[in-house]
């Protein structure tokens, strides 16, 4: 309720902006802007600057990577090798206003040395413009050339996955993980183990990183060192969990129960029963850092207003207002940055958000299991991305 009342309570005070570049927009005439809006923006920028300086976060991301695409891997019960579970191999399948293709790119698995590498096939980079391309099911045909896009190796509704190395169907296991004709679907069983700390059967993996170069999206395969960064983040998170840090959202997720004939919170079936398990370790560590910075802003704003002559109670109320709006901005960011947010290859260009093809948490009319999740580099300068790309 306070977020609705705060503008009426604190929205009358204005401040004069001497540098027009200091604020991206203005309310009212001239260079007068609402002090509350000004402070939310000013302290929001202070938070992002501190995050960029944070040594833990700096080591986890590459400066020029805007977003990473990841998925889950399971250890195949047939060949005992790690296989990625990929729900959609498309990276870009974008049409222009006339219905012609503008951008085509996809992933292709390559088996090397008992592991699966991901190769990026950028059709634009190979043939140039793709406006004459035709898509026949999963085959791109253009200029007497054909590019076959792999089909997903998972059908969750049928409790079916396929190992990319040995080709076997991954179906059921008993309670010890042994292959069985009936029982629990192995992928669910493996992820349940992961979520209670047993990572012998399932783990997260980064597949592709996305950059913006010369007004165009560039896709690159992730290397081992990219995934090692997830492990480093996990070490930090485990330390916070052991210390029972209150900023790690360990609260249980409410179970939906049966609504309208059986709607369920699907992630329960995969063992994700606490809020922090909706994020990969890197996303979670960034979230915790941001929460702590917002709390620090609250203290700084209160001190600043007291120095300006405000009473403690009034200064505390104003600081709470600024921190509350920053928290709202954080929740919006989290709506687009978790392991239940899917990469959307078909979204057209038009804004920084669309450029990065963000889905959001409720894209599937609920918090669903996602096999191609995205991981934003929170410290990346998205504002400087051109609003339209070639």
pLDDT above 60 (res 20): no
The H or E element spanning position 327 is: helix 312-335
**Number of neighbouring beta carbons within 10 Å of residue 86:** 25
What's the pLDDT score for residue 260? Answer: 43
Tokens standing for 320? 């709470």
The mean pLDDT value for 166-177 works out to: 92
pLDDT given for residue 389 in this prediction? 47
Name the pairing type of β-strands 216-221 and 202-213. antiparallel
Neighbour tally for 260: CB within 10 Å: 5
Q: What is the pLDDT of residue 27?
A: 47
| C-alpha–C-alpha distance, residues 177 and 144, integer Å | 48
Q: What is the pLDDT of residue 261?
A: 42
pLDDT, tens digit, for every residue of 332-362? Answer: 888 888 988 888 887 644 444 445 556 777 7
Residue 192 clears pLDDT 60, i.e. is over it: yes
- From 249, 281, 224, select the one nearest 57 (Cα to Cα): 281
> Nearest 5°: phi and psi at 260?
60, 40
Q: What is the mean pLDDT of the segment spanning 153-181?
A: 92
> pLDDT grade, residue 365 (50/70/90)?
low
The Cα 61–Cα 66 span in angstroms is: 9
pLDDT tens for each residue of 94-147 = 888 788 998 899 999 999 888 999 999 999 999 999 999 999 889 999 988 999
pLDDT at 344: 83
With DSSP H G I counted as helix, E B as strand and the rest as coil, what are the percentages for the chain, rounded to 5?
35, 25, 40
Whether 259 has a pLDDT exceeding 70, the answer reads: no
Q: Residues of the chain with pLDDT > 90: what percent?
A: 57
H or E element in which residue 127 lies: helix 123-127
Q: Hey, which residues does 71 pair with through a beta bridge?
A: 205
Please give the pLDDT value at position 349. Answer: 45
């Amino acid at each position: 309720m306070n977020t609705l009342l705060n503008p009426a309570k604190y929205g009358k005070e204005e401040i004069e902006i001497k540098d027009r570049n200091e604020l991206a927009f203005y309310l009212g005439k001239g260079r007068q802007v609402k002090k509350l809006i000004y402070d939310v923006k000013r302290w929001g920028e202070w938070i992002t600057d501190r995050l960029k300086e944070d040594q833990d976060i700096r080591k986890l991301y590459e400066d020029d990577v805007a977003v990473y695409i990841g998925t889950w891997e399971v250890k195949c019960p047939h060949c005992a090798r790690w296989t990625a579970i990929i729900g959609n191999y498309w990276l870009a399948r974008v049409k222009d206003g006339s219905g012609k293709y503008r951008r085509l790119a996809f992933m292709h698995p390559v088996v090397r040395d008992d592991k699966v590498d991901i190769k990026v096939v950028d059709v634009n980079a190979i043939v140039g413009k793709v406006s004459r391309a035709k898509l026949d099911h999963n085959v791109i045909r253009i200029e007497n050339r054909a590019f076959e896009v792999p089909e997903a190796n998972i059908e969750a509704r049928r409790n079916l996955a396929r190992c990319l190395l040995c080709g076997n169907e991954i179906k059921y296991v008993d309670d010890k993980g042994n292959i069985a004709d009936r029982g629990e679907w192995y992928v669910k069983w493996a992820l349940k183990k992961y979520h209670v700390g047993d990572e012998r059967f399932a783990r997260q993996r980064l597949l592709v990183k996305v950059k913006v170069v010369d007004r165009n999206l560039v896709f690159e395969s992730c290397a081992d060192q990219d995934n090692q960064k997830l492990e480093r983040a996990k070490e930090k998170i485990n330390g916070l969990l052991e210390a029972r840090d209150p900023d790690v959202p360990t609260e249980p997720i409410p179970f939906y129960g049966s609504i309208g004939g059986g709607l369920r919170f699907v992630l329960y079936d995969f063992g994700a029963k606490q809020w922090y398990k909706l994020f990969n370790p890197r996303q979670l560590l960034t979230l915790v850092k941001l929460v702590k910075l917002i709390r620090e802003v609250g203290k700084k704003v209160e001190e600043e207003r007291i120095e300006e002559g405000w009473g403690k109670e009034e200064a505390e109320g104003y600081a709470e207002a600024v921190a509350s709006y920053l928290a709202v901005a954080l929740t919006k960011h989290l709506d687009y940055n978790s392991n239940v947010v899917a990469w959307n290859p078909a979204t057209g260009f038009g804004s920084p958000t669309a450029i990065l093809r963000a889905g959001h948490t409720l894209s599937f009319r609920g918090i669903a299991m996602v096999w191609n999740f995205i991981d934003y580099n929170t410290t990346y300068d998205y504002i400087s991305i051109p609003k339209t790309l070639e």
